[in-house]
Amino acid sequence: MKLREFQSYLRKNKIGAAIFAHPDPCITYFTQMVPSHAVLCITPKKATFLITKLDKMKKVSGIDIQYFSKDWKKKLSKKTEKLGVNKQSLTVSSLENMKKMFPKAKVVDVSSTLTKLRETKTKKEIQCISKACKITSNAFDALIQELPKKKLHTEQDVAFFLERHFQKEGGEVAFPTIAAVGKNAAIPHHVTSNALLQRGFLLIDFGAKYKNYCADMTRMIFLGKPSEEEKGWYNLLYTSQEDARLAVADGVKYSELDKTARKSLGKYEKKFIHSLGHGIGLEVHENPVFSNGKVKHNVPFTIEPGIYFPGKFGLRIEDTVIFDGKLKVLTVASKKLPEIAGW
Amino acid sequence: MKLREFQSYLRKNKIGAAIFAHPDPCITYFTQMVPSHAVLCITPKKATFLITKLDKMKKVSGIDIQYFSKDWKKKLSKKTEKLGVNKQSLTVSSLENMKKMFPKAKVVDVSSTLTKLRETKTKKEIQCISKACKITSNAFDALIQELPKKKLHTEQDVAFFLERHFQKEGGEVAFPTIAAVGKNAAIPHHVTSNALLQRGFLLIDFGAKYKNYCADMTRMIFLGKPSEEEKGWYNLLYTSQEDARLAVADGVKYSELDKTARKSLGKYEKKFIHSLGHGIGLEVHENPVFSNGKVKHNVPFTIEPGIYFPGKFGLRIEDTVIFDGKLKVLTVASKKLPEIAGW
């Protein structure tokens, strides 16, 4: 993506070369590949991508892909006074190795430029994210059809069912699925276990990946028939998420959306122990971060308020959304609380 | 693991504190936790582990676990003249942040000490790796029982079957399973696809994780009845792997084992396009690397020769092994080539 824009930035800033060492999501950003081991060197005029024979050689527009050879360092060690690196991903020891390869170069950080480039998505990126969200939503719908059959018995069964569905539709798993019953759902990042499904709320936080781009969605399911109090918790949170969604407009601060969701929770605001959301794209969590920044066109993000009662239960509702003049919810699965009979 | 040994090293070297920032496998090494976000600070006398409320609070011997608070930096910003960091994992931007927290400290790299500590496994670590290998082997045995039923149709079906089996035995997935049919197996790190199973070799490279410790195993399966030529390829590779195994002895260089396996392949040596193996533990690939180092007691590693014919087929046989006076193969699944009727 946006290779030319990045090369133009290098030219303007007289950066002779930018080097990326695996692991770095920017490698996938520019090459659309997820290599086992690789070095990517971008100059104002050229992009050279070195991979090992462990990986499949592909053709990528604008990128010269080669296998590592014994003299690979010579291929890169051109004279440059300024060397660009991504300090957000590069390890200290990799930087030290690079300095040996370019002993005279001044090292400059290109991470903020990369962040800006990556934050606003191209049409193609939005298509991939939308498709990932569609696959995720379809998996949820399939789960709602499957649960009454009583073939899924544990949190892990639920997670496997969803992840298996991703593959049926050509997707991959963006991050380990969180399936949480009872008090497990009070831990926002609960590690899906072999806990048995039981009457009550089932939280699922999951997402497919399509052509390296991620979806992120959380839905609540009620196993059995919820009491009025239980419906009340769900409706409180639903309204909080809806209020945040309705507050989205061009230039509104993410922190304002966060405040809106919290205000909507009233006295239960303190039970909402994390941020309202995060940017999403190649990485499940990427820029923008909600502590700064404003809603912009074509920058996808999540809206995910939650309320947690340690040792008891927890609820979260999450959508991946994008603003393009108006808000589009990409994770289209229904947010009406499904009630599954038989528990 | 080995927290006291590390603290003793800090004391001897007058390193006031070592700080680890997420993501760093050393955090899991010392705390046995896999946090969403965390900072671990180890001093000669104390270990403080800061996590967010997203993760479950656990008790870990010798570690003071706390949630991040607003003044968390103050908790760590003690006077120290020497600050230890893991340059192998720490990003450049995290290092810059640390330098702001400890403006007067001299930063020293503790990565080689950590590598040495982690390389030789404790009894508990060996138990976990052995269990991971046992789960992996059991999953293979179950697959051999399942394949004749013809319910698995694609590479992804095979991968899911194996990974599902890990969970049944209390394991997790150590790395994405490689299942490769036909020419796909000629790419050592083939990305498992929806390619249909077909007559011929099926390569599976997979591993369970148990309590954060990994197994790594590759087996070949023949769908249908192999020709004499096909049996010949398998036997050639089997002998190469066996020769390397038989060459393992105290103090033998890994590079010698590598040479042995290559020699055994005769004129097909050039088809073996990667290293013979790697160390394994918390990470699937960790120290030792085979380009240097010698066989030592209680250092698990893999032995995995392969031969690859681009566009045609590929074979690899891999075991996770450990030496404790004699060689123990931890991935106990049979290496007799299974022939699955019906293809």
Domain ranges in chain A? 3-119, 123-340
What confidence score (pLDDT) does residue B7 get?
A: 97
Interface check A108 vs B, CB under 8 A: no
pLDDT in tens, B6-45: 999 999 999 999 999 999 999 999 999 999 999 999 999 9
Which residues lie across from A340 on neighbouring strands?
A: A223
Whether B3-119 and B123-340 share one fold: the answer is: no
How many other C-beta atoms can be found within 10 angstroms of the C-beta atom of residue A10?
21
The residue in chain B having the minimum alpha-carbon distance to the alpha carbon of residue A159 is B164
Which of B34, B53, B187 is nearest residue A56 as measured by Cβ atoms?
B187
Architecture of domain B123-340: Alpha-Beta Complex (3.90)
Interface check B56 vs A, CB under 8 A: yes
Interface check A95 vs B, CB under 8 A: yes
What confidence score (pLDDT) does residue B78 get?
A: 67
Mark yes or no for CB contact B93/A85 under 8 Å. no
Structure tokens at A2: 């946006």
The residue in chain A having the minimum alpha-carbon distance to the alpha carbon of residue B176 is A173
What's the pTM?
A: 0.96
Fold of B3-119: Creatine Amidinohydrolase; Chain A, domain 1 (3.40.350)
How far does CA A128 lie from the centroid of its chain? 12
With contact defined as beta carbons under 8 Å apart, do A51 and A68 qualify? Answer: yes
Q: How far apart are CA A289 and CA B315, in angstroms?
A: 46
ipTM associated with this complex: 0.94
Interface check B88 vs A, CB under 8 A: yes
Mean pLDDT of B129-134: 98
Q: How far apart are CA A151 and CA A54, in angstroms?
A: 39
A83 to chain B: which residues are within 8 Å by CB? Answer: none
What confidence score (pLDDT) does residue B70 get?
A: 85
What confidence score (pLDDT) does residue A70 get?
A: 85
Mean pLDDT of B103-109: 95
A contact test, residue of B91, B151, B193 with most A CBs within 10 A: B91
What confidence score (pLDDT) does residue B72 get?
A: 83
What does the DSSP 8-state code read for residue A295? -
Helix (H, G, I), strand (E, B) or coil at A33: coil
B contact test, residue of A91, A135, A309, A316 with most B CBs within 10 A: A91
What confidence score (pLDDT) does residue B76 get?
A: 72
pLDDT in tens, B161-170: 999 999 999 9
How far does CA B329 lie from the centroid of its chain? 15
Each of the 343 residues of chain A gets a pLDDT tens digit; together they read 799 999 999 999 999 999 999 999 999 999 999 999 999 999 999 999 999 999 999 999 999 999 998 888 877 766 789 999 999 999 999 999 999 989 999 999 999 999 999 999 999 999 999 999 999 999 999 999 999 999 999 999 999 999 999 999 999 999 999 999 999 999 999 999 999 999 999 999 999 999 999 999 999 999 999 999 999 999 999 999 999 999 999 999 999 999 999 999 999 999 999 999 999 999 999 999 999 999 999 999 999 999 999 999 999 999 999 999 999 999 999 999 999 998 8
- What is the rounded average pLDDT for all residues in chain B? 96
The residue count of chain B comes to 343
Interface check B341 vs A, CB under 8 A: no
Mark yes or no for CB contact B274/A194 under 8 Å. no
pLDDT in tens, B299-315: 999 999 999 999 999 99
pLDDT in tens, B198-214: 999 999 999 999 999 99
What confidence score (pLDDT) does residue B342 get?
A: 87
Confidence class of residue B335 from pLDDT cuts 50, 70 and 90? very high
Interface check A54 vs B, CB under 8 A: yes
Q: How far apart are CA B332 and CA A17, in angstroms?
A: 49
With contact defined as beta carbons under 8 Å apart, do B8 and B110 qualify? Answer: no
